[in-house]
């Protein structure tokens, strides 16, 4: 295998948004030819918060179909549900035994999430980054495209890999983060100083990939901006900065060019224009999604074959691990 390996995943909670599209999915589509890629719907991770089983099953399927609708090529890459590849949980256990409580206690996401879920601070929430490390290390991954908020988890994965290699000899490749340059951070439409979250309680805070055009227009109209009326990227104008970033990400234009076009125009016009580029940009995604949802057999074939491939590749690492740590070889 000469292509470098990439692993990335999105947790199936809430709904995929333009932030996921700009920050992750669009980049995946660009990376998929140059690299050997694994893109997973990380359903095991979703179990760290309480889920409604029926909703979860539906959402997992919708996420996977949206990966495809965004243009991920299922022949060149692996697209699968994390729970379909049994090695993820297997390696997570082994790595749990190579991770210190102190390391996990330092994870800012754990602190944030446990503050938000006071009634369900389960052990899975605590060891979540270890499962993520397993996801990555199983495939001898070179690069992990993640948002800045996941950098700490990736650092931990590198530490765990390094420690394991130090004790047992070379077993895992130590992965590098891959942080996209532009437009990686899309903010909430309602509180633009906060990240756009796919699980926000207020649906007006995000644009879902599957939002209908009229919903997108309505959400944009309600987007929080500031009290002057200059379409300019500037300090203290989080709302407008965010809309400019979204516009630029969809059209590929420079911010200055957009500012010039809207010179002398008000926020109302600008918001409608942002809505329009989003609607047009997402149109092919929406259409392909509808089409694929009518083709369940095809989708089933894709995730089944991908999972089989992923199982075989990751099993090679798993066997190496079991041998190195001293387990008796399976018959």
Q: Give me the residues that bind ligand TRP (CB under 6 A), please.
A: 7-9, 11, 42, 45, 132, 135-136, 144, 146, 150, 153
Closest approach of ligand TRP to the CB of residue 185, in Å: 13
Q: Nearest distance from residue 127's CB to ligand TRP, in Å?
A: 12
Least distance between ligand TRP and beta carbon 72 (Å): 15
Residue 145 CB, nearest approach to ligand TRP (Å):
7
Least Å distance, CB 146 to ligand TRP, is 5
CA 183-185-190 angle, to 5 degrees, is 115
Q: How far is the CB of 91 from ligand TRP (least distance, A)?
A: 12
The rounded distance, in Å, linking the Cα atoms of 79 and 145 is 15
Candidates 69, 57, 11, 27; CA nearest to 199 is 11
* Residue in 4, 173, 185, 195 annotated catalytic: 195
Residues 6+ apart with CB under 8 A from 323: 329
Mark whether 198 is an active-site residue.
yes
Please identify, using beta-carbon distances, which residue of 61 and 220 lies nearer to ligand TRP.
61
Please answer whether residues 80 and 127 qualify as being in contact, where contact means their C-beta atoms are separated by less than 8 angstroms: no
CB 243 within 8 A of CB 273: no
Residue 195 among the catalytic residues: yes
Residue number, 116 or 323, with CB nearest to ligand TRP: 116
User: Smaller CB distance to ligand TRP: residue 88 or 271?
Assistant: 88
**Catalytic one of 26, 198, 237, 271:** 198
- Closest contact distance (angstroms) between CB of 135 and ligand TRP is 4
Closer residue to ligand TRP, CB minimum distance, 146 or 258? 146
In the 3-class helix/strand/coil scheme, how is the chain assigned residue by residue?
Answer: CCCCEEEEEECCCCCCEHHHHHHHHHHHHHHCCCCEEEEEECHHHHCCCCCCHHHHHHHHHHHHHHHHHCCCCCCCCEEEEHHHCCHHHHHHHHHHCCCCHHHHHCCHHHHHHHHHCHHHCCHHHHHHHHHHHHHHHCCCCCEEECCHHHHHHHHHHHHHHHHHHHHHCCCCCCCEEECCCCCCCCECCCCCCCECCCCCCCHHHCCECCCCHHHHHHHHHCCCCCCCCCCCCCCCCHHHHHHHHHHHHHHCCCHHHHHHHCCCCCHHHHHHHHHHHHHHHHHHHHHHHHHHHCCHHHHHHHHHHHHHHHHHHHHHHHHHHHHHHCCCCCC
User: Which sequence positions are flagged as catalytic?
Assistant: 113, 195, 198
């Amino acid at each position: 295998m000469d292509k470098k390996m990439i692993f990335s995943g999105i947790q199936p909670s809430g709904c995929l948004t333009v932030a996921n599209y700009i920050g992750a999915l669009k980049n995946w589509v660009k990376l998929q030819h140059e690299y050997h890629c694994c893109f997973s719907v990380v359903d095991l991770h979703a179990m760290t918060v309480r889920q409604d089983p029926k909703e979860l099953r539906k959402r997992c399927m919708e996420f996977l179909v949206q990966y495809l609708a965004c243009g991920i090529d299922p022949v060149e890459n692996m697209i699968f549900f994390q729970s379909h590849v049994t090695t993820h949980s297997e390696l997570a256990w082994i790595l749990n035994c190579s991770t210190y409580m102190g390391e996990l206690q330092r994870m800012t996401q754990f602190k944030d999430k446990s503050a938000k879920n006071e009634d369900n601070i389960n052990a899975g929430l605590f060891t979540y980054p270890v499962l993520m490390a397993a996801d990555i290390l199983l495939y001898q991954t070179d690069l992990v495209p993640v948002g800045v908020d996941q950098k700490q988890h990736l650092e931990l994965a590198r530490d765990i890999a390094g420690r394991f290699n130090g004790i047992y000899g070379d077993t895992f490749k130590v992965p590098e983060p891959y942080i996209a340059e532009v437009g990686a951070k899309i903010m909430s439409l309602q509180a633009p100083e906060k990240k756009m979250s796919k699980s926000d309680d207020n649906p007006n805070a995000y644009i879902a990939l599957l939002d209908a055009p009229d919903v997108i227009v309505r959400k944009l109209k309600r987007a929080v901006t500031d009290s002057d009326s200059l379409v300019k990227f500037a300090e203290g104008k989080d709302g407008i900065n965010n809309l400019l970033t979204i516009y630029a990400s969809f059209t590929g234009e420079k911010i200055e060019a957009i500012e010039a076009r809207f010179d002398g125009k008000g926020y109302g016009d600008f918001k409608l224009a942002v809505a329009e580029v989003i609607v047009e940009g997402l149109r092919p995604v929406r259409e392909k999604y509808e089409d694929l949802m009518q083709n369940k057999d095809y989708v089933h074939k894709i995730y089944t074959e991908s999972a089989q491939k992923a199982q075989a590749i990751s099993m090679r690492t798993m066997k190496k691990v079991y041998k190195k740590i001293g387990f008796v070889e399976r018959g």
